[in-house]
Amino acid sequence: MNLKRFFGGLLTILGIVGLIYTAVIFAGTSGGTRDIKSLIIYGILGIVFFMSGISLVRTTKDES
């Protein structure tokens, strides 16, 4: 089992969870400053984790 692929998959899943959580906050927001800050923070972290996970999975060679 390739550790880099496993870590890439884990990062991808964390990114998806972060983006889903951002969508849930967005759906229940009233427009307050605290809501906007949390939307930005969780959204950026979700995108970064998702993109880095996908990139790590794609660039890692499969050595079986």
Q: What is the pLDDT of residues 18-44, one digit of tens each?
A: 999 999 988 887 777 777 888 999 999
pTM of the model: 0.84
| Domain boundaries, given as residue ranges, for the chain | 3-59
Q: How many CA atoms lie within 13 A of 62 on its CB side?
A: 2
For every residue of 21-43, DSSP letters joined together read: HHHHHHHT----HHHHHHHHHHH
Q: Taking 90 as the threshold, does the pLDDT of residue 14 lie above it?
A: yes
Can you tell me the distance from the alpha carbon of 6 to that of 13, in angstroms, rounded to the nearest whole number? 11
Ramachandran area for residue 19 (φ above 0: left; ψ -120 to 50: alpha; else beta): alpha
